[in-house]
Structure 1
Amino acid sequence: MALMRWEPLREIDTLQREMNRLFESFTNDTSIEQTRGSFVPSAEMHETPDAIHLKLEVPGMEAKDIDIQASAEAVSISGERKSEMKTEEKGTTRTEFRYGKFRRVIPLPVRIQNTNVTADYKDGILTLTLPKAEEEKNKVVKVSLG
């Protein structure tokens, strides 16, 4: 039996690669879509003194397939993606289908005027402008010290 030198740093490197591979399998969008048949669009929220601006990434969808509902405290966005990609090369046809439903409810940090919400959809990005309620715009909170 031959003696082998134990190298703990090599063991840690191997463990880290395995952990990275495991986490990548959980966060890979295509693997999630294939296993559950749904997806969760990425969102970005930005607050200004007058409004909340919300962007969602929903590529491969048409505006008619997106449903937006706004209450004073939250926004609900749902839809269904149906896309097909077909390529032909050297007599071989390759077709890929991507289907998936999503529903995302995003709680808002302040109350909004839900009757004045505007939406724009361009290049796979849904942009919502959510004007703040008047009482939220003028809200001043006294902070006591010590």
Structure 2
Amino acid sequence: MLVRWQPLQEIEEVRRQFDRMFRDITTLDQEAAKGWVPASELRDDGDHLTLRLSIPDIEAKDLDIQVTKDSLTIAGERHLERKEESAEKGYYWSEISYGKFRRVFALPVAIENEQVKAEYTNGILTLTLPKANEVKAFKVDVATELPAS
């Protein structure tokens, strides 16, 4: 079977990928200017996406997670707590970022936003994002015999 090459479609796909990349970089730069930016990873696990965010020293009650079919917003705050004896001794340095953060993720596929599950363990927030039915692949069985009439 021959497949016709359509260079304009391929150029358009490359343009979309560049647009997405620059949008992500711009969003990350804007978020970094506002506060600290926690590290994240997004993985495709077949019927769902898994998003992990490294946010140690934040209580689950201080997190605000909002989900739509195609985006996810996570906001929170890491509070600076200095004890009296630490304040007297002083710090030599501190590389830990404190304050508010807000991450907005454009999701690569539509998800079932009402079925999202969140777990927070050992400073790692894990979100399970089930894919919407329109993006899942379904197996179709083919009948080999016609039914008797």
Q: Which residue of 1 aligns with 2:62?
A: 65
Note if 1:116 corresponds to 2:118.
no
Q: Which residue of 2 aligns with 1:3?
A: none
Q: Which residue of 2 aligns with 1:23?
A: none
Distance 1:98 1:87 in 2: 20
Distance 1:94 1:84 in 2: 13
Q: Which residue of 2 aligns with 1:83?
A: 80
Distance 2:46 2:34 in 1: 39
Note if 1:49 corresponds to 2:46.
yes
Q: Which residue of 2 aligns with 1:93?
A: 89
Q: Which residue of 2 aligns with 1:132?
A: 131
Query: Letter of the aligned partner of 1:68 in structure 2?
Result: I
1:72–1:139: structure 2 CA closer, same or farther, 3 Å change rule?
A: farther
Instruction: Provide TM-score, normalisation by structure 1.
Output: 0.62
Checking the alignment, whether the CA contact within 8 Å between 1:113 and 1:132 is kept in structure 2 is yes
Instruction: Provide TM-score, normalisation by structure 2.
Output: 0.61
Structure 1 ranges of 4+ moved more than 4 A: 95-98
Indicate the larger mover: 78-87 or 59-68.
78-87
Gaps of 5+ in 1: 1-32, 141-146
Deviation at 1:132, TM superposition (A): 0.4
The RMSD of aligned alpha carbons is: 2.6
1:131–1:118: structure 2 CA closer, same or farther, 3 Å change rule?
A: same
Deviation at 1:56, TM superposition (A): 0.5
Checking the alignment, whether the CA contact within 8 Å between 1:84 and 1:98 is kept in structure 2 is no
Q: Give me the identity figure in percent.
A: 46
Checking the alignment, whether the CA contact within 8 Å between 1:61 and 1:83 is kept in structure 2 is no
SS of residue in 1 equivalent to 2:36: coil
Distance 1:85 1:131 in 2: 41
From the CA coordinates, give the structure whose radius of gyration is larger.
Answer: 1
Note if 1:39 corresponds to 2:36.
yes
Deviation at 1:111, TM superposition (A): 0.3
The aligned length equals: 104
Gaps of 5+ in 2: 1-31, 140-149
